[in-house]
Amino acid sequence: MSTTEIYGFKADGNAEFIGETQNAFRGAFVVWEHFEKNTLSHYSQWLMAKVTQEL
């Protein structure tokens, strides 16, 4: 079975081990969920507000 190791990067550029999942396919969901929560949610809120204003 495959594994996914997840690393985070600090502001100084050093990497740190965050976690591991035993199923690489499931690991992709974890990574994208974290990315969406910390990055895309701000964009999604802005986009939704913009679309709502245009309607």
pLDDT at 16: 94
pLDDT at 33: 80
Q: Average pLDDT per run of 10 along the chain, which is 55 residues long?
A: 83 90 75 77 75 72
Q: From CA 12, how far away is CA 4, in angstroms rounded?
A: 24
Residues 6+ apart with CB under 8 A from 24: 2, 3, 4
pLDDT at 14: 94
Q: From CA 31, how far away is CA 24, in angstroms rounded?
A: 10
pLDDT at 12: 93
